[in-house]
Amino acid sequence: MSGIIVMPSASANASTVEKENFSRERRFGVSWDYRIENSARKNLHALGPSVAEKIRHYLDTRIRGCANPRAFGKPLRHDLKGYWRYQVADCRLICRLEDHILTVLVVKVGNRKNVYKKKK
């Protein structure tokens, strides 16, 4: 059955259709990559080597090479509108999706309790 293409119904929710149509597979040479900003590298280093390894593994297996990184994250709202959140254990990755160059830019990394707080 892997060769059968299922078309979503007209009444299907747009986000459901988007998640159904895209998967982690590479499609027609279109695949995403990721970059980590310097400030996020500092955050990552401060979390410790084991947590940093989990986060890098997540980025390498889920984001790099996928057809649609939106399938793995959630869009943020209010002050962080335009950014996306990815969850890795108790940590959150705050990212900006750069559609024009197919890159997920990791802007901030931190524990879920602190990552959303604004700097004073």
- pLDDT tens-digit profile of 61-80? 999 999 999 999 999 999 99
Strands 33-36, 103-111: pairing is: parallel
- Distance from C-alpha of 119 to C-alpha of 42, rounded to nearest angstrom: 15
Percentage of residues in the chain with pLDDT exceeding 70? 74
- Judge whether 53 lies within some domain: yes
- In the chain, the number of structural domains is 1
What mean pLDDT value characterizes the chain? 82
- Judge whether 120 lies within some domain: no
- Distance from C-alpha of 77 to C-alpha of 83, rounded to nearest angstrom: 8
- pLDDT tens-digit profile of 8-17? 444 444 444 4
List C-alpha distances in Å: 82 to 60, 74, 77, 78: 23, 11, 8, 9
pLDDT on residue 30: 78
Task: Tell me the CATH number at 35.
Answer: 3.30.2310.20
- Distance from C-alpha of 4 to C-alpha of 12, rounded to nearest angstrom: 19
Domain that holds residue 60: 14-22+30-111
- Distance from C-alpha of 97 to C-alpha of 5, rounded to nearest angstrom: 28
List C-alpha distances in Å: 13 to 9, 46, 70, 71: 9, 40, 15, 14
